[in-house]
Amino acid sequence: MEIQEDENEEKAKIVEINTGGDFEYIEAGQIMYIQSYGNYVKVFTTGRMILGTPLLHKMLSVLPKSLFVRIHKSYIVNKDYIGNYNNSAIMVGKEQLPIGISYRQSVISRLALP
């Protein structure tokens, strides 16, 4: 029971995203994936996309580690939204996201790919 409570707490964790003057606050569990976009990040949630100013590695440091996995130099994915996947790509909703070669081994172990 304690593990489930921890997972629920992590999904409910509020993440602050600087949008260039304003701040957006989202529950971590609503973030489907994050894409690096130059000096910005695109945060794709269940309802919309938010363009933020933090760099991808800074976003990764504030997200719950048990919920998110970096799959590519440009992508972080919420494990709860992963549909189909193989050794080279992951489906999140209708989007196919690549798994970077240097991230493949850690992604395989985190997702328990055969």
Three-class secondary structure of residue 92 per DSSP: strand
pLDDT grade for 60, boundaries at 50, 70 and 90: confident
Tokens coding 31: 């973030």
Q: What is the mean pLDDT of residues 11-16?
A: 84
Scanning 51-91, the segments in alpha helix (DSSP H) are 56-62
Out of 33-37, 63-67, 88-92, pick the least confident: 63-67
Distance CA 41, CA 35 (A): 6
Tokens coding 77: 């994915």
Q: If you average pLDDT over every residue of the chain, what do you get?
A: 88
Sign of the C-alpha dihedral computed for residues 59, 64, 67 and 69 taken in this order: positive
| pLDDT for residue 49 is more than 70 | yes
Q: What is the mean pLDDT of residues 51-73?
A: 91
pLDDT grade for 6, boundaries at 50, 70 and 90: low
- Percentage with pLDDT > 70 across the chain: 90
CATH class name, domain 2-111 = mainly beta
